[in-house]
Amino acid sequence: MAIVADFDPSTPSIARVYDYLLNGKDNFAADREVAKAALVYNHSVTEFSSFFGPLELVPPGVVDAREWRPDWEPAVHLPSRDGQAIVGVARVG
């Protein structure tokens, strides 16, 4: 069994912030505070896409984070929520 040295739940983790944004259960108050601060301003998909500049978007492009896994079968239940976490990946042409 592995032991995590110096684990501090008051220090936010981007993985747990992402978990919170996806309505997960594995996050702490510090993670939720960071996520809520990041949601103060929501960019549109068009605005977010412009951040990639001349880079080539990788399929599925800029989408809600819950749609990023194209290998999920349609039967996967995605819980409803207000808003979205927009994600995208690009590469140099």
* Coil, strand or helix at 9: coil
Amino acid (1-letter code) at residue 56:
E
Confidence at residue 6, expressed as pLDDT on a 0 to 100 scale: 82
* Mean pLDDT, the chain cut into blocks of 10 residues (93 residues total): 80 91 93 84 82 90 77 61 78 83
Note the pTM of the prediction, 2 decimals. 0.44
Instruction: Note the maximum CA span of the chain.
Output: 46
Measured in degrees and rounded to the nearest 5, phi and psi for residue 48 equal -60, -40
Q: Report domain extents, the chain.
A: 1-41, 42-93
The angle that helices 29-38 and 14-21 make with each other, rounded to 10 degrees, is: 70
